[in-house]
Every structure is written in C-alpha cells, then in structure tokens.
Amino acid sequence: MGLPERKRTATEARLAGLTLPTGGWAEPARRDALSRVTAMGLPQRRDEYWKYTRPDSLLDPEPPRAALLEQGGELVFESMDRLKIVFVDGVFDPEASDALELEGVTIDRLADARDADIHWAKDFYGVLEARGQTPVERPFAAMNTAFATDGVIIHVTGKPSKPISLIYIHRSEHSDAILHHVVRVDRDAEATILENGPAAARFNKCMEIDIADGGILHHVRAQGRDHERRAVTHVFARLGRDSVFKSFTLSVNGVLTRNECVIELTGDDAIAHVAGACVGDGDFHHDDTVFVTHDAVNCESRQVFKKVLRNGATGVFQGKILVKEGAQKTDGYQISQSLLLDEDSQFLAKPELEIYADDVACSHGSTSGAIDEDALFYLRSRGVPHGTATDLLTLAFLAEAVQEVEDEALAKDIISRLENWLARRR
Amino acid sequence: MLEIKDLNVKLEEEDKEILKGVNLSVEAGKVHAIMGPNGSGKSTLSYVLSGKDGYEVTGGSAVMDGVDLLELEPEERAAAGLFLAFQYPVEIPGVGNMTFLRTAVNAQRKARGQDEMSAADFLKLVRARAKELKIDAEMLKRPVNVGFSGGEKKRNEILQMAMLEPKMCILDETDSGLDVDAMKLVADGVNALRSEGRGFLVITHYQRLLDHIKPDVVHIMADGRIVKSGGPELALEVENNGYADILAEVA
Ligand SMILES: Nc1ncnc2c1ncn2[C@@H]1O[C@H](COP(=O)(O)OP(=O)(O)OP(=O)(O)O)[C@@H](O)[C@H]1O
Ligand SMILES: [Mg+2]
C-alpha cells in the first residue's frame, strides 16, 4: 500500500528538513505521529479535502518569505489584564512572557513537561489529533505532533481570574514555526484562552483541548497583520458531559490561512460553538474547515462563519456536522456566508450534514451576496455617507459571528479591529 | 423651497418612461399633498428627488432652496435638508436603531460644519421624541425596522424625521397601514414640525390623513404628470368620486 509517487516525494522532501525532537515521554507519541504522516502523505492539490486551497506553499521545504508589517498601533487584546505567553517566530520567549503562574491553572512549556517522569499530558499529547484523523485525514496535524518544537501544556483546575494569552510574534521573514499546545479543562473548571499574532512566515499550529464534565473553555483568537504569512492550524476538542467550548477567530489579512477545527461531543448536554469573522483584501485566501461530531444525547453545536471579501480575495468554508447513531436530540446549526464587495472575489463553500439518528434538529445554510442596495440607499438617504454606510452594513453582516464572543470587552476590541480595517480601505 | 420643472424620468435598465414632465413647487411653510392612482409615479418622484439608483433623468430639474438636487449624492441631499419617509421602510439586520439614528444625525451635522451631538444630548433628544410618538425604548435598541410592525415602521420614519429636522419633508404613504390612533400620532408628529421654514410633500391615497394634516394644496398625479391641482376640496372629491371624473376632465 504505497502513496502515489508525487505525494510520497513531496512528503519526504518536506519532512527531510525537519528534526524530530527526542527525549521524554513525548518521543513515542511523536514517532507514532511521524508514522501517521508518512503513511498518509501530506496534502496535494488534487486531494478532495484540499480542493479549494492549494497546499503547495505549505509543502515547500523552505517557507516563502513573509515581509514584516510596520507595526503600527496597539495590538489586539493589549489593554486586557491577561497572563501573557509570548512566542517569537515559534520560540517561547520567557523574557517577554509573564511568569507562568496563575491560580486555577498550571502551565508548563512542552519541553519542560516532556522531561518530567510523570506528567498528565503524557496521556494527551497527540491523542486527540490521532482520533481526529478519521474519517478525514489531517496530515499537517500529524506532522505537527511529530515535529512541534515548542508549545505549552495548560491544565485548568479552577477558574483563573484572567485569560491565558498566547502571543505569536513574527520577527524573521523566513521563519517556519511549528507549535503544539495541549489544554485540559478539569471538571467544572473554566478558563479563557486568547491567541493573537502573525507568528511566523509560515506557521503550523495544533491545539488539543480536552474538556471534562461541566468544564468551560472560551477560545478567542485573532490572526492578522503581516499579510504575506501562511498558516495551517488545527483545533481538536473533545467535550465531556455538560461542558461548553466556544471558539471564535478573527482573521484579517493573510495570503494563506487554513483553520481546521475538529470537535467531538462525547458527553450528553454539551455545547460547542465555533465561529469566525474574516475580512480579506486582494490575494487573501482564507479557509475554515470544520468537522463537528455528535456522539452523545442532547448536545448543541453551532458553526457561524462570515467572510468579507474584496479585490479578488478568496474565502473557503468546508463544514460538516456528523450525528452518530444514538446522538438523539442533537441541535446542530451551521451557517456560512460571504459578503462580496466586488465581482472579483469568490467564496467556495461545502456545507455537509451526515445524520444517523432520527430525533435531531439540524440546519445549515450558505450564502454569498453583495451589499444590500436598498439598505445602502436607506442609510444614505438619512445622510450617512456612502463609505460609512457600507462599513455599517459590513459590520452588521459580521455581527452574528462576532456575537459568539461572550466577553463584552473582547467583542468590543474585535469590532474596533474590524472598523479600523474597513476605515483603512475606504 | 422645492421647485420641480418639467421632470422627465425613465428607468435606467429599460426604455420605460415613468415621469413625463412633472411640474410642482412647494413653498416654505406649506403642505402640499399628492394623490393619484396606483402606479402613476408618486413613489418614483420621491425616489428620484432623494437620489435612488436605477432611474435616469432625461429632462427637467429639481431645485431645493437654490441647490440643484439632481447633482448631489443621496447623503448630500439629506444634509442639504431633504427627507423622505419611505413607503416601504427598509429592514437592516445587525444595525441598531439607536446607532443608525446617531450616525445619521452626526453625519448631517458634520456635513453642515456643525459639531457632533454629544451622546448624552442625543439620548435625551431621542428619548423625548420617541416618547411623543409612543415608540418604546425597546424598539430603539432593536435593529433598524427588523421585526417592527407596519405601523411601527411608519412611526420610526417620523421619529427619524423629527431627529433630523429637515427643511423639506416628503412623506410617501406614511398613513398606510396605520391604525386610527397611530395615524393621529403621526399627524401630530408632522404638525409639530410644521413651521415657516419647512415644506411638506405628503403622498397619500386617503382623505383621513389630510383631516389631521391640513394641506394647503392638493395635486393629482396620473401617468407621470401632475394633471390637476387645487385646494383641500380636491382630496374630498377624490375620496367621494374616485379618479374617473378628474381623469376624464383632463384627458
Ligand atoms: N425599478 C423599477 N422597475 C420597474 N418598474 C418600475 C420601477 N420603478 C417604478 N416602476 C414602475 O413605474 C410605475 C410608477 O411606480 P410608482 O411606484 O412610482 O407608483 P406610485 O404612484 O407610487 O404607486 P402606488 O400608489 O401603488 O404606490 C409603475 O408602473 C411601476 O411598476
Ligand atoms: Mg408608491
């Protein structure tokens, strides 16, 4: 059972430049992941799951150059009280980070945890990623588990008073970063994890999240700034009974972003919301690929993705709800919409439902449209200038996704980013 | 205040003439009413005056206080003091009514070189005006016109008019869909704004609104033209006999 020649060579070429970190309990998990990725092979342009997004630049042995943005203005989340964990081009920066101490959570650097004889993460590292390989293969995630050079292990045991904020700084035009985080939320514990920053010229990030019964995790991320960056990211989340996972991603700029989110509802009455708002201009390409599996009774899942595209930007959404046998009373909702600000932009969507239970309520919808001319005229007839009116309607379009951010201060911050982005393009 | 001369308008997309030489002038301080059969071009006139896309002016002019309206963008016409209460107010999901009102008020002030209204002053004003129109605070928080009843939408139009204090107000069938009490509220709202410096053009099918808002002049529009003008008694004639006699008389 061999891979097609092209795929095998491309995979070998990409992996050849990487070194598998050795030592500690992580090594066997990494070796397993390496066998997974060599068996699957890295994605090729013809692969069905990569139909709308070209993986080529993620496969090149060397990352394409990504210019650094002249940093102007305050970064997102800046004014929030949070525990900062900083990575520069994919390397943990202890100087720039806060002490990894906060009541209700323990945080270790992956490299440190690995060398501890006994560590809870031993039974978690790579586990959800491996589970997430069926029914659809996600080779970049297996590659990540094998070769990740850094990352943090976050164990939420209580209710930390402030968010844990992962900040990804991009400083080298040729950096190629692979980060792997593991998050475990204990029974009835609750935390917020923030992520922001361009990270590297090319970034492969994987986050495995295990939420025990009654646990709650809020995840808010902002991918932005340096336009030439490329990223492939994976979130793997497993939810226990009565647990809640809410994830929101803001994406601004970026020539290539592929965000995969794989969620498994394994305990009854769990709730998972994944949402995204993205705004793209020109050679922007943004792909949200979501796979939600209902494997318990009375769970709720929501996928809300909104994309604003202009000047030839491309948005992709592949979203699936899989309801397994016995997952009765499932409430599944999925919406993906694009607002095309001109005729050159395009939105490619593949919404899917697969249901093996009979007592479920699932709905999905996907639309693509332009600014509502009647609404625009109505606003203008009240004296609102064309540009302001367009921005108002654009923000209104994004609102359903942004509303998924529960924390008001965070939501405000995100809206102001969007406003600025729009204002800069008027 | 508003001078419309021989205005000819066709659809941009097709060769269909809708307004065929409209002549009309509304003086400051006066209320003019337009009545006329369905499809005669009343809404089209109001849209063309406020600058909606899709129409092509093939001849004539529309001037407000010396300003050529047809040269301006819709927002510039608004800032110059023109207001249209829509026959079918538009729903705008995701834009809060309050945000919308404040953006509009401040955009107009800015265009006129005035300072923006402070949040506190604005709130005070909008609350007072809303109260007069029996629009509750809840409605102000909701997205623009979304889920509003027909009558609520119309009252919301009048609220916008009261907030923007335009000099030339066009009301396109603001009475349709209103219950008797709401009609009274709307009429009171309009009457409260009546002043020497302000003109009104009230498009309606019914005498009832004109009982409350006494017009100075009534025009009959048919097939894209003003075919007859007269005093308030003209509206009564329409109410009693329909358009047949009038149309026959001018044919
Ligand atoms: N955008 C358009 N496309 C096609 N036809 C149009 C358009 N706008 C107006 N018309 C036509 O122009 C004519 C005048 O329409 P208008 O809405 O101005 O009439 P009205 O006098 O306001 O009628 P009503 O009393 O029913 O409101 C109608 O025949 C209408 O179908
Ligand atoms: Mg009409």
pLDDT digits (tens, 9 = 90+) for A77-130: 998 999 999 999 999 999 999 999 999 999 999 988 888 877 888 899 999 999
* Complex ipTM > 0.90: yes
Percent of chain A clearing pLDDT 90 (strictly above)? 90
pLDDT digits (tens, 9 = 90+) for A304-323: 999 999 999 999 999 999 99
Interval A237-256 mean pLDDT: 96
- Provide, as residue numbers in chain A, all residues whose Cβ is less than 8 Å from the Cβ of B146: none
- Let me know: does B31 contact B200? Beta carbons within 8 Å: yes
* Residue A39 CA to its chain's centroid (Å): 25
Determine the residue type at B188: D
Q: How many domains does chain A have?
A: 1
What average pLDDT does chain A have?
95
B204 CB within 6 A, ligand 1: no
Overall pTM > 0.90: yes
B145 CB within 6 A, ligand 1: no
Nearest to B106, CA basis, from B97, B120, B116: B116
- Provide, as residue numbers in chain A, all residues whose Cβ is less than 8 Å from the Cβ of B92: 372, 375, 378-379, 393, 396
Mutational test site, ligand 1, from B8, B17, B43, max ligand atoms within 8 Å of CB: B43
Q: Inform me whether the pLDDT recorded for A1 exceeds 60.
A: no
**Pairing of β A152-156 and β A105-109:** antiparallel
Q: Whose CA is nearest to atom 8 of ligand 1?
A: B44
Residue numbers of the domain that contains A49: 5-424
pLDDT digits (tens, 9 = 90+) for B65-108: 999 999 999 999 999 999 999 999 999 999 999 999 999 999 99
CA–CA gap between residue B90 and residue A384 (Å, rounded):
15
CA–CA gap between residue A296 and residue A406 (Å, rounded):
25
Q: Whose CA is nearest to atom 17 of ligand 1?
A: B43
pLDDT digits (tens, 9 = 90+) for B108-151: 999 989 999 999 999 999 999 998 888 888 888 899 999 998 88
Q: Give the residues across from A218 on adjacent strands.
A: A192, A246
pLDDT digits (tens, 9 = 90+) for A168-211: 999 999 999 999 999 999 999 999 999 999 999 999 999 999 99
Nearest to A231, CA basis, from A262, A196, A282: A196
Interval A256-278 mean pLDDT: 98
pLDDT digits (tens, 9 = 90+) for A136-155: 999 999 999 999 999 999 99
A382:B86 CB<8 A: no
Whether residue B171 is contained in a domain is answered as: no
CA–CA gap between residue B204 and residue A317 (Å, rounded):
49
B52:A393 CB<8 A: no
B225 CB within 6 A, ligand 1: no
DSSP A182: E
* A373 inside 8 A of chain B by CB: yes
HEC secondary structure over B152-176: HHHHHHHHHHHHHCCCEEEEECCCC
Residue numbers of the domain that contains B152: 84-165
DSSP A91: E
- Let me know: does A159 contact A104? Beta carbons within 8 Å: yes
* Interfacial B residues in 184-223 facing A (CB < 8 Å): none
Write the residue in B75, B91, B100 that is nearest to A380 by C-beta.
B75
CA–CA gap between residue A344 and residue A272 (Å, rounded):
34
Nearest Cα of chain A lies from the Cα of B191 at a distance, in angstroms, of 21
A147 to A17, B109, B167: CA distances (angstroms): 10, 59, 70
B79:A383 CB<8 A: yes
- Let me know: does A151 contact A39? Beta carbons within 8 Å: no
Residue A72 is predicted with a pLDDT of 65
B71: CA distance to ligand 2 center in Å? 24
Residue A225 is predicted with a pLDDT of 76
Q: How many domains does chain B have?
A: 1
Residue B133 is predicted with a pLDDT of 83
